[in-house]
């Protein structure tokens, strides 16, 4: 395609921002100057995440890393310099975005012992495996909700093309209170507990809260995550008690805002999540015991529930396996895990904004797409489930002009399945084509 004909393309010229037009033209120029790959995707069906509808027989044109045009029908290509990929029998979607993963780790019976056995290098090598597995499952972007800090280095390595993986937006190390869900010394014997503080992600005052956020910024985090209540998998008694004061949470959200970051809150118990939403937190992770009062506040504040239904089901299942978890965790897992899907159903019916997120890492990475089925099972229509993992999540990440749609000017993050997910949501558990930034990682 010539630059002149590209610029005259009617589909390109309509409904696209000036900035994205500039990005498209720059991509074309780079393609001509540096010889970057031009690809035509012949797509049988394309999911339009903006409308929630399917468009049939489309050609998606990719120049370098971005989508530059979309035309009706299948293009006739006569140049050997243009790659054509036949997806005529497939349904094509924007790359999926999972808003809650733990890319550094994966649940197993030795996970608690591994905290003392594995070096950062071991964690990094494992994380690279999990990242690739996530990408191959169709998740071209993820939001990492807490690890040791390896997640930041992994994000950077993927951005530089050193290893394959999804685009990562990470919180770095989670913020907790002393003894709270996320205190890295929970379960340690007294002689090695120490007294971790803001640098380690432990907050016990307004001053600590501000310092901890600034430390995350210094470390290179994209988001801030707090543990507003107890958690299931921490070696601590309560899975639901509030663990931050309103004043501490407010200090965190205000400081995060100063540094251009948003705040996510792990929360199972209602009081802790209500405090979080009232204090400016953008997303509530899990939301297990959420009351109608909190649901109404989330609607008012435009705060999103990230339900992680898959994690709830997987944790409850593993809790029945003798020795899989430490004994203090088992009753929490059996109580909390089975309730998440029911809470999601109520929240969706009331109108709470929903963002797709799974908590992958609590269960094996790569099966994230099971979450779609659980959301649909609980009453969310197929198209809305798909939108939650594309256009909705892109908006929350402040990437609405780059991710979440198959549209000129957007990154060429494109995935495909054999069947139409609007008719059969489980087809998303078997993604057969993955492109990220214009590079094909999977095509079968």
pLDDT in tens, the chain (444 residues): 444 344 444 444 455 566 565 655 555 555 444 457 899 999 999 999 999 999 999 999 999 999 999 999 999 998 889 999 999 999 999 999 999 999 999 999 988 888 888 999 999 999 999 999 999 999 999 999 999 999 999 999 999 999 999 999 999 999 999 988 988 888 887 888 888 899 999 999 999 999 999 999 999 999 999 999 999 998 888 889 999 999 999 999 999 999 999 999 999 999 999 999 999 999 999 999 999 999 999 999 999 999 999 999 999 999 999 999 999 999 999 999 999 999 999 999 999 999 999 999 999 999 999 999 999 999 999 999 999 999 999 999 999 999 999 999 999 999 999 999 999 999 999 999 999 999 999 999
Domain 3-95+405-443 shares a fold with domain 96-396: no
Give pLDDT, residue 244.
97
| Separation between Cα atoms, residue 142 and residue 373, nearest integer Å | 19
Residues 6+ positions from 179 with CB-CB distance below 8 Å: 186, 236
pTM of the shown model = 0.91
Query: DSSP label at 303?
Result: P
Task: Evaluate whether 442 touches 415 at the Cβ level (below 8 Å).
Answer: no
Q: Can you name the CATH fold of 3-95+405-443? A: Urease, subunit C; domain 1 (2.30.40)
By DSSP bridging, strand 96-101 and strand 304-306 are unpaired
Report the pLDDT value the prediction gives residue 29, as an integer from 0 to 100. 53
pLDDT at 42: 98
- DSSP H or E run through 59: strand 53-63
Question: Phi and psi at residue 196, in whole multiples of 5°?
Answer: -60, 150
- Specify the fold of 96-396: TIM Barrel (3.20.20)
Tokens of 199: 């640098």
Q: Which of 236, 122, 100 is nearest to 177 (CA)?
A: 236
The strand ranges marked E within 79-196 are 82-94, 96-101, 139-144, 167-170
Quick check: 408 and 70 in contact, CB under 8 A? yes
What residue spans define the domains of the chain?
3-95+405-443, 96-396
């Amino acid at each position: 395609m010539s630059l002149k004909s590209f610029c005259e393309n009617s589909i390109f010229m309509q409904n696209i921002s000036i900035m994205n037009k500039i990005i498209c033209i720059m991509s074309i120029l780079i393609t001509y100057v540096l010889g970057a790959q031009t690809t035509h995707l012949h797509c049988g069906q394309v999911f339009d995440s903006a409308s929630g509808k399917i468009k049939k027989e489309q050609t998606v044109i990719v120049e370098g890393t971005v989508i530059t045009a979309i035309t009706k029908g299948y293009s006739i290509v006569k140049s050997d310099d243009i790659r054509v990929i036949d997806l005529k029998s497939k349904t094509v979607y924007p790359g999926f975005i999972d808003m809650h993963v733990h890319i550094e780790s994966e649940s197993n019976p030795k996970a608690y012992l591994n905290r003392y056995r594995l070096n950062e290098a071991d964690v990094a090598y494992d994380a690279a495996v999990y990242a690739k597995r996530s990408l191959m499952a169709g998740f071209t972007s993820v939001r990492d909700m807490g690890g040791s800090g390896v997640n930041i280095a992994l994000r950077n390595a993927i951005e530089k093309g050193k290893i394959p993986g999804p685009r990562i937006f990470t919180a770095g190390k989670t913020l907790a209170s002393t003894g709270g869900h996320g205190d890295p010394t929970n379960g340690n014997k007294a002689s090695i507990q120490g007294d971790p503080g803001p640098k380690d992600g432990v907050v016990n005052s307004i001053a600590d809260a501000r310092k901890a956020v600034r430390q995350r910024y210094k470390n290179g985090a994209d988001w801030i995550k707090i543990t507003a209540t107890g958690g299931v998998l921490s070696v601590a008694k309560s899975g639901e008690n509030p663990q931050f004061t309103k004043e501490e949470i407010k200090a965190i959200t205000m400081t995060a805002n100063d540094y251009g970051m948003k705040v996510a809150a792990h929360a199972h118990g209602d009081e802790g999540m209500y405090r979080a939403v009232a204090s400016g937190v953008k997303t509530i992770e899990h939301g297990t015991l959420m009351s109608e009062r909190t649901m109404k506040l989330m609607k008012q504040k435009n705060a999103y529930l990230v339900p992680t239904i898959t994690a709830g089901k997987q944790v409850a299942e593993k809790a029945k396996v003798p020795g899989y978890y430490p004994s203090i965790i088992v009753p929490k897992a059996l109580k909390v895990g089975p309730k998440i899907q029911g809470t999601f159903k109520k929240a969706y019916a009331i109108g709470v904004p929903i963002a797709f997120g799974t908590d992958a890492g609590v269960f094996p990475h790569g099966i994230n797409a099971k979450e779609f089925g659980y959301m649909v099972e609980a009453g969310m229509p197929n198209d809305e489930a798909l939108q939650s993992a594309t256009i909705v999540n892109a908006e929350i990440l402040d990437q609405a002009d780059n991710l979440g749609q198959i549209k000129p000017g957007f990154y060429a993050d494109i995935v495909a399945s054999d069947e139409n997910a609007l008719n059969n949501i489980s087809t998303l558990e078997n993604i057969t084509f993955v492109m990220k930034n214009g590079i094909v990682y999977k095509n079968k």
